[in-house]
């Protein structure tokens, strides 16, 4: 059993916060253990809670569609959330819930070692860009040590606000180019866990 599978087992029985009391299933995340791209969303919704899988509702369908437009399939990428159990009525996660769940996503990043993390939620973005606004930084990759982080709008935002769909499509179209360019990038200062770095320019 891989360390990642062991982590999934731990997440499925986690009781570190009260969200565990209302869940049908915890949603650890899914995808290849050696994925180059890792998407990090917010938290499971109704359908994800039912099935124990991330992004399988309407937002997930849009994610699949956007991946398809750049010739990729969801099976090629890793998909996880910052929060592993559905908050009641899909409310924002509380600080105490974010703190309790944080070690899980940190461990997933450590084990998968993606080349690019694509944040598709405010709470994932805040891990690397604590004070930034998504409207200002979406689609702009930044390098932290060996990792490139690319913030994007949440697909659900594009479902509620159709004008954001083309923004999201344009940002997705940059993914292949970013993967290719990465080989030529200089390494920046490694990230310190306790002190999120300021934005560092990726393309100079």
Binding positions for ligand URA, rule: CB under 6 A:
41-45, 48, 54-55, 57, 59, 81, 121, 156
Q: Which is nearer to ligand URA, 31 or 57 (CB)?
A: 57
Write down the least CB distance from residue 123 to ligand URA, Å: 9
Distance CA 92, CA 11 (A): 20
Q: Which is nearer to ligand URA, 7 or 124 (CB)?
A: 124
Angle between the N-to-C axes of helices 163-181 and 58-69, in degrees from 0 to 180, rounded to the nearest 10 = 50
Write down the least CB distance from residue 53 to ligand URA, Å: 8
Q: Which is nearer to ligand URA, 81 or 108 (CB)?
A: 81
Phi, psi of 150 (to 5 degrees): -120, 105
Per the CB < 8 A criterion, the answer to whether 42 and 154 are in contact is: yes
Distance CA 10, CA 182 (A): 34
Q: Which is nearer to ligand URA, 74 or 143 (CB)?
A: 74
Write down the least CB distance from residue 45 to ligand URA, Å: 4
Write down the least CB distance from residue 182 to ligand URA, Å: 25
């Amino acid at each position: 059993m891989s360390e990642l599978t062991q982590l999934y087992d731990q997440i499925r029985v986690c009781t570190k916060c009260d969200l565990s009391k209302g869940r049908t299933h915890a949603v650890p995340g899914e995808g290849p253990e050696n994925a180059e791209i890792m998407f990090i969303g917010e938290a499971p919704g109704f359908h994800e809670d039912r099935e124990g899988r991330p992004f399988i509702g309407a937002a997930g369908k849009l994610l699949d569609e956007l991946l398809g437009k750049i010739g990729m399939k969801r099976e090629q990428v890793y998909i996880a959330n910052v929060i592993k159990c559905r908050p009641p009525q899909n409310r924002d996660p509380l600080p105490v819930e974010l703190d309790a769940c944080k070690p899980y996503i940190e461990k997933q990043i450590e084990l998968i070692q993606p080349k690019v993390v694509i944040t598709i939620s405010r709470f994932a973005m805040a891990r690397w860009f604590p004070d930034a606004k998504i409207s200002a930084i979406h689609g702009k990759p930044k390098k932290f040590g060996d990792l490139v982080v690319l913030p994007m709008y949440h697909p659900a935002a594009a479902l509620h606000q159709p004008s954001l769909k083309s923004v999201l499509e344009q940002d997705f179209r940059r993914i292949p180019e970013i993967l290719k360019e990465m080989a030529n990038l200089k390494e920046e200062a490694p990230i310190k866990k306790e002190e999120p770095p300021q934005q560092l320019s990726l393309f100079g």
